[in-house]
Amino acid sequence: MILICGAGAFGTALAVTLAQNGPVTLWARDAAHAAEMQAARENTRRLPGIDLPDAVTILSGPLPKGDTPCLLAMPMQTLRGFLSEHAETFARRTLVACCKGMDLTTGLGPTGLIAQSCPTATPAILTGPSFARDIALGLPTALTLACADEATGQMLQRVLTSPTLRLYRSTDTIGAELGGALKNVIAIACGAAIGAGLGESARAALMTRGFAEMNRLAATLGAQPQTLAGLSGFGDLALTCTSDQSRNYRYGLSIGQGATFDPTITVEGAATARAVLARAQALGLDMPITHAVTALVTGELRVAQAMDMLLSRPLKEE
């Protein structure tokens, strides 16, 4: 049995696809939300139009104990508090983070937070180019499953692969989580450029130079270069920077258009940009796109000013 903590769109989508392999428990923090899903056999709030298979059990309240793997499908900025709240239940358990970002308070990624809050647990991360509805509809999707413990990674790869969800295994948790976090920042930049009418060439330049920034920070923090070139880095960057299904891209579009964005929608890249910039500055790293995105999300700069800032930088070799 698999336990999924978090009944948002992605947690629900994972429950739907993994139910093809066996029983899945989908835990929701909100008891009323859990009751709605149980009655309708559908997550009408987050993933409407997708039936929940009979193999999916919906729970709220106390987390079930046991030694089965637990997938943490929740916003990055809520993960640290959730882990601290349930540290005793998660002791010596395998915890798979399914969120992308960097914690604002600690500057840590998901596996770092797991190691800090639940030191006896085995951390892993599931990340890569994917949209919840694609996974739930059974459209073919490939993700990275990273776990420093190779035996645990092999077990998770077997358990979490479904007929339409293919997982590639890695031991580089640092690279995998950085790819997922940093691409959201670049997606905001790309959305802002398109929203402001700066064109496809500007987007291509931001993706390319953004990828260079991603690699710069990842290498400094000990990631393997090939990880960022894979699904969790380049693959996720390509998807998130070019699709209207991406919340981070749509958020950037709204900034570029001067429009209001729905505040109830989680935009991981907004907080991550601030956390990444602080980490980069502490390390003495130059990350101009991340700097520009941080200024955009905090309202310090408008898109035209941010673009002028980037274009006026000293000329150099690629």
Q: Is 183 a catalytic residue?
A: yes
Spell out a b/e string for 26-40, using b for 16 or more CB atoms within 10 Å of the CB, else e: bbbeeeebbebbbee
The parts of the chain modelled with pLDDT lower than 50 are none
What is the per-residue pLDDT for 317? 84
- Within the chain, all domains assigned CATH 3.40.50.720 are found at 2-171
Q: In the chain, list all ranges with CATH 1.10.1040.10.
A: 180-311
Residue 310, pLDDT score: 92
User: Per the residue annotation, which of 65, 100, 183, 316 is the catalytic one?
Assistant: 183
49 in the Ramachandran plot: left (φ > 0), alpha (ψ -120 to 50) or beta? left
Q: Which fold has domain 2-171?
A: Rossmann fold (3.40.50)
By the 8 A CB rule, do 177 and 251 touch? no
Three-class SS string for the chain? CEEEECCCHHHHHHHHHHCCCCCEEEECCCHHHHHHHHHHCEECCCEEEEECCCCEEEECCCCCCCCCCEEECCCHHHHHHHHHHCHHHHCCCEEEECCCCCCCCCCCCHHHHHHHHCCCCEEEEEECCCCHHHHHCCCCEEEEEEECCHHHHHHHHHHHCECCEEEEEECCHHHHHHHHHHHHHHHHHHHHHHHCCCCHHHHHHHHHHHHHHHHHHHHHCCCCHHHHCCHHHHHHHHHHCCCCCCHHHHHHHHHHHCCCCCCCCCCHHHHHHHHHHHHHHHHCCCCHHHHHHHHHHCCCCCHHHHHHHHHCCCCCCC
Q: What is the pLDDT of residues 188-205, one digit of tens each?
A: 999 999 999 999 999 999
The model carries a pTM of 0.96
pLDDT on residue 81: 98
| Model pLDDT, residue 315 | 83
Architecture of the domain whose range is 180-311: Orthogonal Bundle (1.10)
